[in-house]
Amino acid sequence: MKFSTQLLCWLSLAASPFFNNAFAIDNGVYTIKSKYSAKFVEVANASTADGANISQWANTNHDTQRWLITQVENNNYSVINLNSGKAMEVFEWSTSDGANVVQYDYSAGATQHWQINSEGNGYVSFINANSQKALDLYDFDGNDGANISQWAYNGSDAQLWQLNKLANVESAPFDPSTTNGATDHWPLTGSLVTHDPTISYENGTWWIFQTGPGIAGKWSNNGVAWNDAAAIFPNGLNWWSNYVPEHDGIDVWAPELKSYNGRSWLYYAISTFGSRVSAIGLTSASSVSAGNWRDDGLVINTTNSNSYNAIDPDLVVAKDGAPWLTFGSWNSGIKLMRINPITMKPFGELYSLASRSGGIEAPTIIYRQGYYYLFVSVGKCCAGTDSTYRIAYGRATDIRGPYLDKNGNNMLSGGGSILDAGNSQWAGPGGQDILNTDVMVRHAYDKGDNGVPKLLISTLNWDSNGWPRF
């Protein structure tokens, strides 16, 4: 039984409308500290397993005591452990006093959603959306390892928690897209030779980075006339060969550039053709124009023992503002992982999004009006005018899928509607990237110029049913 002091407190506060004082906290990474014990909510033993117990412990500065808290709906929040990538929930949807609190893969169910209420003096309570009961330090136990459960709200110190913000998480992604707009293929000039481009816009300047020596780049004042920019790492980085011994030292594949939390992040791949011995690296800068690029090291690597390939990274901002990384690959296809907003590197489960015989790679995911859209390049790349690359897509209501094409076919089973298969001038379009939801960049092989890969930029439009089109 609970201590009598807690019961008395409940009797005195039972009439208070606790659900009316929802506290709109900023999305971010937080620690959760008990007012009663001054200890931190954690997943016991840093477990990554479904059903692992949630308890308290003295401060360890470990990610198992850090939580990604983001608003989901109706003033509710999801609470995701930064070590496991799993959500805090009341076990088996229980509505009983004393029901255990555990972690489980996020399902968006009410038992994984929490209203966070201001209780004054810097403390909050967590009220479960399913049970309407409070996150509770069971039996006022102040010891390391003491259990966290739920109990009818009483406002006692065992139900009061202090949040300490460690990192920001952005707001929902920007969506400027329109419906049934006019197709616009941009009339590009200047330095146009490119492969696997990524595009960004910053303070009046357009930027592109692409496959090539040292992370090669371009810039433009208007998005049409392009100039070469200096490579970020013209001499390569020494650590690349530790993970890809056969690498030539400077060649970098398929960079991905996005601004997040006020910093420019650029993911890239180190690999050799036809091999799963690959690595994704990360560099960042205060801004692209500043050019003060920092080596942030290894993100993820694969060997021949992996069924997938660490290439073609894409930073995705989910509808709650949380970052994810999608990447891959021939072999077992396109993958997805959460990104730690502190380190900007992946953690938690590895999800499979799409696969296809005959080749699939270069994923790009955007969020638009309730759907996540996955764009991929399918077919054969890098063969000039003989390339069969083409851009396919599907959509899902959950970032983890399933992604279905216009005919309802699952992209995990080879589905994917075709957006761009080339034309009389351009062969093998692919290696695409999308800025916000309305600018698509890609390469294609110029049939009128001996199959040289060149830059294409188009306005991406959307039909009345929410499907992309040119």
327's tokens: 């990447």
Give the Cα separation of 195 and 210 in Å (integer).
Answer: 6
Give the Cα separation of 37 and 146 in Å (integer).
Answer: 10
Q: What is the DSSP string of 201-229?
A: EETTEEEEEESEETSEEEEESSSSEEEEE
DSSP 385: G
Strands 189-190 and 225-229: parallel
CA dihedral 92, 98, 103, 105 (to 10 degrees): 20
Give the Cα separation of 372 and 180 in Å (integer).
Answer: 19
- List the catalytic residues: 196, 361
Give the Cα separation of 3 and 136 in Å (integer).
Answer: 13
Cβ atoms of 236 and 249 within 8 Å: the answer is: yes
Strands 263-270 and 251-260: antiparallel
Cβ atoms of 135 and 101 within 8 Å: the answer is: yes
Question: Position of tokens 């900007």?
Answer: 344
Handedness of CA 348, 353, 357, 363 (dihedral sign): negative
Q: Which of 251, 243, 241 is nearest to 277 (CA)?
A: 243
Distance of CA 32 to the CA centre of its chain: 23
DSSP 46: G
